[in-house]
Structure 1
Amino acid sequence: MIFPIEGSSITGGDCPGQALAATRTSRKRHGYRALVSMLAAATLLTSCQSILDQSYQADLKPSTNPQIVDTVQKNDPRAAMGAREHPRILASYGGEYHDAKTERLVARITGALTAVSENPNQSYRITILNSPAINAFALPGGYLYVTRGLLALANDASEVAAVLSHEMAHVTANHGIERQKREEAEVIASRVVAEVLSSDLAGKQALARGKLRLAAFSRQQELQADVIGVRMLGEAGYDAYAAARFLDSMAAYARFSSVDPESDQSLDFLSSHPNAPQRVELARQHARAFGQEGTVGDKGRDYYLNGIDGLLYGDSPEEGYVRNETFLHAGLGIRFDVPEGFRIDNKAEAVLATGPDETAIRFDGVEGSDTQSLTNYLTSGWVAGLQPNTVRDITVNGLPAANAKASAERWDFDVTVIRMDKRIFRFLTAVPKGNSTLQATAETIRNSFRKITPQEAADLKPLRVRVVTAQQGDTITTLSARMMGTDRKLDLFRVLNALPTGASITPGQRLKIISD
């Protein structure tokens, strides 16, 4: 959840888009998961600026302080393509993450890989993105990206090297250029965005949700990048088996983070990089050219853990915090709770929550007048399927608010808007048509919405990766109990440290926990 741009102003009359209409259209095609996706995208309309969808300045330029080279290759059309997309990538992923220690770590890994690249004349610029998502990708011209979320999941330098070498392979093989020429992919992307968002391809907004161009590599290109990447990994002196190992870790994290362990993870590495078991086995086969597993290459575990100790984990302060079933935002001065059994997902454009019986919740906000009638705002056209006879003025913990019901094909909705100062916060709760839990669920959520106290705001601290050394008597159970920010402490501890069921720890072993 992003803090709004100063000076932005959106009122009901300024936002005539069909938010629920988009949901209704998608529901016919794709089902409940599409409903959740459309709730995420509901206010991504060209005339409707959400508090949770911060626009970055149009004159944003690529960083003038790259970590690998001073400048990207001059007079190179590929570099120009990368430079054109770079600001959009930053806007989509929360900007750059700056931490000198971590930046040196990633630069060290990238430098070692560059030395064995198939194209020694290719320079690379590595950017750490300020996002908890698990992702990495490359743009033409040597622009490499890795999220801090991926760095938190990795357990040694060779695993990050495996990811980066794969992305560098796409660059050296000119896959980005080939992909750019595929006009049919652009046509498909345009049609999808037009149908789902009722909008044209609006720069970073389309990229933020679809990322179709980033996921358009063919299977052949992915396999080619695997072959090149594993070779680079081994020749750089890293553990060549790290590629297969980290693919397994990412799959384990995907299962952990998903409400439905069998569902796809959106906007992460696995959604744009196939992870079939056959591909993992092929990575191991390529690695065998360097020797038997466990006997070759350097993992770089100690210096890697030193480099990520203190790394920001999860939501950044600018986006607010998810603490189990509570969302808190010090900048906006608000908090609310979702019912037990719901999972909160703090996305860039909105806060989403999913729960039992196909219930989905969206929370966002817009700038608005402090004198505007909230019932007029509700009926101003931004909600399709609104039932006018249900519109009513209410109060929520002393704050002026309004509530109404809406209906769209197989779904019923409860819509609540709450004014605090010059902001209007919006809750949209959706259940399958006829589900009797709608009113109780919506009331529970909106009644929990309130201003946070100055002390609550002061106590909010971001979570970070902390590297600890196991002492005599420590066990997986005792160390995982120190985890913060999750009610599944043991499960997350195992995933972050790649500890399978039945594994044990030994005194002196270094492990990651999440703490403030």
Structure 2
Amino acid sequence: MLPVYKRIFLPLAFAAGLLGGCGPNATLMSEADEARIGAEEHTKIVKAYGGAYGDERVNDYVEQIMEKIARASDRPDLRYQITVLNSPVVNAFALPGGYTYVTRGLLALANSEAELAGVIGHEIAHVTARHGARRHTTAVGASILANVLGAVLTSSAGLDPNVAGELINFGGSAVLAGYSRSQEYEADDIGVRVLGRAGYPPLAQAEFLAALDGYSRYMSAGRAGTPAWLSTHPSTDERVARARKQAAAFVPDTPTSGGAADGRARHLQIIDGLPFGDDIKQGLIRGQRFVHPDLRFAFSVPKKFTLKNAPDRVTASHKNGMEMLFDLAGRKEAQRPVDYIRDDWAPRGSRVEVTPLTVDGRPAALGKLRQGGKYIELLVVEYSLTQVMRFALISPGNLSGNAQSAMQTIRRGVQLLSAAEAARIKPDTIRVITVQPDDTLESLSRRMATDERRQDLLLALNNLQKPVTLTPGTRLKLVVN
């Protein structure tokens, strides 16, 4: 009888050899399959990102850039489609079949048409190099290996088949979560060449990567996380260096005099007035305060909490482990907040202490309980006959005093807005200004709408680093309200 490790190894070696014979660039997916998958997923992607951005002038501008990049690509025969997503996150990606996406947040960060073109060139390079199809083939291969490994582990090693499946899926997902490092570098290299062939300065891709790195450092300092585009790509420093090297080596097919134009003036003109941050219809974060003019309410969180907005909830977190979650929820008509906590919200079987309150003149209730080593406070405020505002504050068990203080701040900050108050709330927007002779970094920072770290955001948005020398006549982006 063979030892267990040999009984496991031999079938795996056969399966791996069978798949390995296909080669690293082989695919099991046809181009027709890619187009079908892209079409099927398009609507889901748009919905997940808050819909398409509706400004026709911006959309026309982005589509024109896509057309130039597509003509210069390695596959100009493919049908490409680009959508501007109404999302504040800085992100861009492409689906199989040529469906390409850039977010409103990425448009705001780019400082020229060429930088935006570089991002689009990188993303459609994934399409022309068929990285999605190659990922699919790798995933199919992992599935075949998983089936073989699952059978071997179950019959030969005596493992529970469900446990074996979980182990395999965990290992497979770690490898298949995104494009490989080599595929990202390949897309970078192709993108630089396509950028140059389209008539843009090929160095623009490196410039955008540098801007992305600066914005990432700004976001990380505020504990808001790195831009989504960076989270799925290799480290920025190495990519910037590679992109600069590729740009320096680029030789155009048809030499032109005077150099390529980066389209900075046109880009800044297009994004002047672009909403910055959350869509006002989803509510706005203003420092420690969340305001929703459409639903006509607002609330505040304590200092050192970081607010995050999502389509269906608002969260806030503190580095000490405390977390707050807010949402609107349905209730039985005219159900008292006290009864809502006891009957509908508190975990079944838990010992919850509920106290009736009044918050901003509305009936409310506060519940307190301990569960799973956590201290929890639940605040419910009447919003309408059939809805309540819910605030859940969860903290480590030893920080109950901190949690109670934090919830008091939240309670005091809840406000139901009048129609006039809601009408006065306006979204933050990008405003492009011309530097005047007496302007300084400090004076321009004071014009920014953000409550804190204004200077850092000004530097990040304009890809500037200290020490900064402002030249009169230079065009810069500010965030204003």
TM-score range, shorter chain: 0.7 to 0.9
* Per-residue deviation, 1:413: 1.8
* Per-residue deviation, 1:259: 4.9
Q: 8 Å contact 1:463–1:514 — kept in the other structure?
A: yes
Distance 1:464 1:352 in 2: 23
* Per-residue deviation, 1:324: 1.5
Distance 1:409 1:500 in 2: 47
Distance 1:265 1:476 in 2: 25
Structure 2 equivalent of residue 427 of structure 1: 391
CA 1:106–1:474 in 2, change beyond 3 Å: closer, same or farther?
same
* Per-residue deviation, 1:343: 2.3
Instruction: State which of 265, 271, 275 in structure 1 corresponds to 2:226.
Output: 265
Structure 1 alignment gaps of length 5 or more: 1-74, 188-210
Instruction: State which of 325, 333, 343 in structure 2 corresponds to 1:370.
Output: 333
- For 2:72, what is the secondary structure of its paired residue? coil
Amino acid of the structure 1 residue aligned with 2:479: I
Deviations 1:404-434 (A, max 9, x none): 2243444322111212112211111122221
Q: 8 Å contact 2:38–2:98 — kept in the other structure?
A: yes
Structure 2 equivalent of residue 241 of structure 1: 203
CA 1:244–1:409 in 2, change beyond 3 Å: closer, same or farther?
farther
Distance 1:417 1:168 in 2: 48
CA 1:104–1:459 in 2, change beyond 3 Å: closer, same or farther?
same
Structure 2 equivalent of residue 345 of structure 1: 308
* Per-residue deviation, 1:461: 0.9
* Per-residue deviation, 1:159: 1.1
Amino acid of the structure 2 residue aligned with 1:99: D
Structure 2 equivalent of residue 314 of structure 1: 277
Structure 1 equivalent of residue 59 of structure 2: 103
* Per-residue deviation, 1:382: 5.0
**Residue 117 in 1 paired to residue 73 in 2?**
yes
- For 2:217, what is the secondary structure of its paired residue? helix
CA 1:85–1:382 in 2, change beyond 3 Å: closer, same or farther?
farther
CA 1:371–1:264 in 2, change beyond 3 Å: closer, same or farther?
closer
Higher mean alpha-carbon deviation, 94-103 vs 385-394, is at 385-394
* Per-residue deviation, 1:88: 1.0
- For 2:338, what is the secondary structure of its paired residue? helix
Structure 2 equivalent of residue 287 of structure 1: 247
Q: Among all aligned residue pairs of Structure 1 and Structure 2, give the percentage whose two residues are the same amino acid.
A: 39
Distance 2:84 2:128 in 1: 21
Structure 2 equivalent of residue 411 of structure 1: 374
* Per-residue deviation, 1:77: 2.8
Please show how residues 56-205 of structure 1 align to structure 2 within 5 Å. 76-181=32-137, 182-183=139-140
Amino acid of the structure 2 residue aligned with 1:257: M
Distance 1:320 1:446 in 2: 19
Deviations 1:80-135 (A, max 9, x none): 21111111111111000011221122122111111111011112111000000000
- For 1:322, what is the secondary structure of its paired residue? strand
Instruction: State which of 426, 436, 444 in structure 2 corresponds to 1:461.
Output: 426
CA 1:386–1:236 in 2, change beyond 3 Å: closer, same or farther?
farther
* Per-residue deviation, 1:341: 2.7
Please show how residues 463-482 of structure 1 align to structure 2 within 5 Å. 463-482=428-447
Structure 1 equivalent of residue 158 of structure 2: none
Aligned residues: 415
Higher mean alpha-carbon deviation, 411-420 vs 134-143, is at 411-420
Structure 1 equivalent of residue 403 of structure 2: 438
Deviations 1:478-506 (A, max 9, x none): 11211113322111111101110101211
CA RMSD after TM alignment: 2.6
Q: TM-score, normalised by structure 1?
A: 0.75
* Per-residue deviation, 1:452: 0.9
Larger RCO: 1 or 2 (CA < 8 Å, sep 6+) = 1
Structure 2 alignment gaps of length 5 or more: 1-30, 145-172, 252-257
CA 1:213–1:176 in 2, change beyond 3 Å: closer, same or farther?
farther
Q: 8 Å contact 2:38–2:96 — kept in the other structure?
A: yes
